[in-house]
Amino acid sequence: MTDSLNRDLSPFSALSWQLAMGVDEAMGDVAPDRRLSATVAPVVMEAPAPQGFSENLAASQHIAIERVLPSIPKALPLSFVPSAVHATNLDELRAELQAFEGCALKKTSKNLVFADGNPASPIMIVGEAPGEEEDRNGLPFVGVSGKLLDRMMSFIGLDRTNIYISNIVPWRPPGNRNPTDSEVAVCLPFTERHIAIVKPKFLVLLGAVAVKSLLKSKDGITKIRGKQLSYTYNDIESGAQVTIPCFPMFHPAYLLRQASQKRLAWNDWLGFIKAVNSPAG
Question: DSSP string spanning 47-58?
Answer: SPPPTT--S-HH
Q: Are 228 and 275 in contact (CB under 8 A)?
A: yes
Residue type (1 letter), 269: W
Burial class of 156 by CB neighbour count within 10 A (0 to 12, 13 to 18, 19+)? middle
Give residue 83's pLDDT: 55
pLDDT tens per residue, range 14-27: 555 555 544 444 54
Q: What percent of the chain has pLDDT over 70?
A: 70
Q: Indicate the pLDDT class of residue 203, thresholds 50, 70 and 90.
A: very high
Give residue 13's pLDDT: 54
pLDDT tens per residue, range 24-79: 445 444 454 544 444 434 433 333 444 443 334 333 333 333 333 333 334 444 44
Bridge partner residues of 62 (DSSP):
none
Bridge partner residues of 233 (DSSP):
242
Alpha carbon 155 to chain centroid, angstroms: 26
* β-strand pairing of 241-249 with 229-234: antiparallel
Give residue 171's pLDDT: 98
Bridge partner residues of 241 (DSSP):
234
Mean residue pLDDT of the chain comes to 80
DSSP 68-134: HTT---SS--GGGS-S----SSHHHHHHHHHH--S-THHHH-SS----EE-TTSSEEEEES---HHH
Give residue 15's pLDDT: 56
Q: What percent of the chain has pLDDT over 90?
A: 66
